[in-house]
Amino acid sequence: MKKSLILFLVCFGLNSICLHAANKLYEKIDLFGEVLEKIEKDYVDDVNQSELMDSAINGVLQSLDPYSAYMSPELFKEMQTDTRGEFGGLGIEIGMEAGVVKVIAPIDDTPAAKAGIKAGDYIIKVGNDQVQGKSLMEAVKLMRGPVGTSIDLTIRRKNVKKSLEFKITREIIEVKSVSSEIIGTKKDLGYIRLKSFNENSDKQFLNVVKKYEKNSKLNGYILDLRNNPGGLLTQAINITDFFLDDGEIVSTKGRKISETRKFFARKGDEIKGKPIIVLINNGSASAAEIFAGALKDHKRAIILGENSFGKGSVQSIIPLRNGGGMRLTISKYYLPSGNSISEVGVTPDIIVEETGKDFKIKSKNDNQLNYALKLFNS
């Protein structure tokens, strides 16, 4: 209310348009108070006013975009475990879409990935709890629990009529972001799977590239970013820079000048122009989209697979006075072409959709990787 009064006084001094806006704001505040009174007086069950206000605050934030959210003091404290590198859980990156929890990507070699959870799945129930109507953070809390305990997830999947049931046992989740192998019929291709953009991903990645570059037989690279949910912007920039001699990598635009920046490649392509194929799918998001999009715009790589997720925004974690916090979108990513990734994603140069019930990344049934191998051999 104090802030509303300040807004009113400032606007009054400016012009009548602002005065009208302030009056409209007061009307909405009065209406909100009236709704709360009616709920307390007439709703069929007793209502916890504190929880109701938390839901109202979260509703405001989630009306902005799927990634802004409120965290109560309890949730905020629990979310701090996300930054420690390992935690007990299922191994999925999730977001919100139209009030429903959506899987951005299952993390490789985690309980969720092993159970068969896929990018694009919608989580309807966690145990006996309906997820729709809950905040993203509340859904995360439901899925966490003691290591070794199991949980039932009810999933809706595109093009599957019936809901799917999964029983998953929680584990300590440790994300090892880089794995690699020399592949191809002539053993002349460097395959590098980048599972996330964590703190040390660039060092791990560069070490692999340097090792492979000592192999005189190596003719190119397949860089696999499928089901990579993203991570740190700085890591996306550093790893993209390995393959570019110059030019813009990505820009961010926000309301604050400090959030509006451009990032450029430094001179020096670590693989000296060797051909690259980048594999992406619906689970490639955020930093993974920056990497794929920048190489595509600079025509430095062929992008192959499925359209990426479309998470092209930056969130900041802001502590609040009550001990809680909020995730707030503060800027958006833009590719060198000037195109936004948000809700659009990166479209592959060659669209190859995942096929077959037995599809598994980096297996004999991986039709996307097989297609990439054929391109190199053609």
Q: What is the pLDDT along the chain (378 residues), one digit of tens a residue?
A: 445 544 444 454 545 555 666 677 888 888 888 888 888 888 888 888 888 888 888 888 888 888 888 888 887 877 665 444 445 688 888 888 877 889 988 888 889 989 999 988 999 999 888 888 777 778 888 888 888 889 999 999 988 889 999 999 998 877 778 999 999 988 999 999 999 898 889 999 999 999 999 987 899 999 999 999 988 899 999 999 999 999 999 999 998 888 899 999 999 899 999 999 999 999 999 999 999 999 999 999 999 999 999 999 988 889 999 998 998 999 999 999 999 999 899 999 999 999 877 788 888 899 999 999 999 987
286 torsion bin: left (phi>0), alpha (psi -120 to 50), beta (else): left
138 phi, psi to nearest 5 deg: -65, -40
Q: Which of 68, 284, 311, 331 is catalytic?
A: 311
Kindly give the residue spans of alpha helices, DSSP state H, lying in 214-313: 233-241, 287-297
The architecture of the domain spanning 73-174 is: Roll (2.30)
Domain 178-316+328-377: assigned CATH number = 3.90.226.10
Active site residue 297: yes
Q: Hey, where are the domains in the chain?
A: 73-174, 178-316+328-377
Is there a shared CATH topology between the 73-174 domain and the 178-316+328-377 domain?
Answer: no
Q: C-alpha 37: how far from its chain's center?
A: 39
Question: How far is the CA of 191 from the CAs of 133, 202, 221, 313, 364, in angstroms?
Answer: 42, 16, 6, 29, 15
Active site residue 177: no
Q: In a 3-state reduction of DSSP, which class is residue 181?
A: strand
Q: Which of 297, 308, 313, 331 is catalytic?
A: 297
Q: Which of 177, 201, 284, 286 is catalytic?
A: 286
Active site residue 311: yes
Q: 250: closest CA among 320, 297, 216, 315? A: 297
